[in-house]
Structure 1
Amino acid sequence: MSITGSGAHGIITTLPLFAETKVKGLSDEKLITATMLSYLICTYIKEYSGRLSAFCGCGIAGGTGVACGLGYLRGATLEEIINIINNMASGITGMICDGGNQGCTMKGIVAVDAAYRAVEMAMNNTYIFNVHGINGVTPERTMMNMGRIASPGMIETEKVIVDIFKEK
Structure 2
Amino acid sequence: MGAATGMAWLFTRDINTINTAIINMVSDITGMICDGASNSCAMKVSSVVSSAFKAVLMAMQNSCAGANDGIVCADVEQTINNLCRLVINPMTLTDKEIISIMVAK
TM-score by length of 1: 0.58
> In the alignment, does 2:39 pair up with 1:102?
yes
Equivalent of 2:78, from 108, 117, 141?
141
Question: Which of these residues, 42, 58, 68, is aligned with residue 121 of structure 1?
Answer: 58
2:94 pairs with 1:153: no
Percent identical pairs in the alignment equals: 38
1:34 corresponds to: none
Cα RMSD after superposing both structures? 1.4
Q: Within the alignment, does 1:162 sit opposite 2:105 as a pair?
A: no
1:86 maps to what in 2?
A: 23
Structure 1 residues 111-161: Cα deviation after superposition (integer angstroms, max 9, x where no partner): 000000000011011111333221134212211211221221222221210
**How far did 1:70 drift?**
0.1
CA contact (8 A) 1:71 1:119 kept: yes
3-state SS in 2 of match to 1:66: helix
Q: 1:73 aligns to what?
A: 10
- CA–CA distance in structure 2, aligned partners of residues 130 and 120 of structure 1: 18
Q: CA deviation at 1:76?
A: 4.5
AA aligned opposite 2:59: A
Deviation string, structure 1 residues 15-41 (Cα, Å, up to 9, x no partner): xxxxxxxxxxxxxxxxxxxxxxxxxxx
Q: Does the 8 Å CA contact 1:130/1:137 hold for their aligned counterparts? A: yes
The answer on whether the counterparts of 1:76 and 1:123 sit within 8 Å (CA) in structure 2 is: no
TM-score by length of 2: 0.90
Q: What corresponds to 1:111 in structure 2? A: 48
Q: CA deviation at 1:167?
A: 0.4
The runs of 5 or more residues in structure 2 that have no matched partner are none
Structure 1 position 91, deviation (Å): 0.4
What letter matches 1:130 in structure 2?
A
Structure 1 residues 53-64: aligned runs within 5 Å: 64=1
Q: Secondary structure at the match of 2:12?
A: coil
Determine the C-alpha separation between the residues in 2 that align with 1:100 and 1:145. Answer: 26
Residues 136, 142 of structure 1: 8 Å contact kept: yes
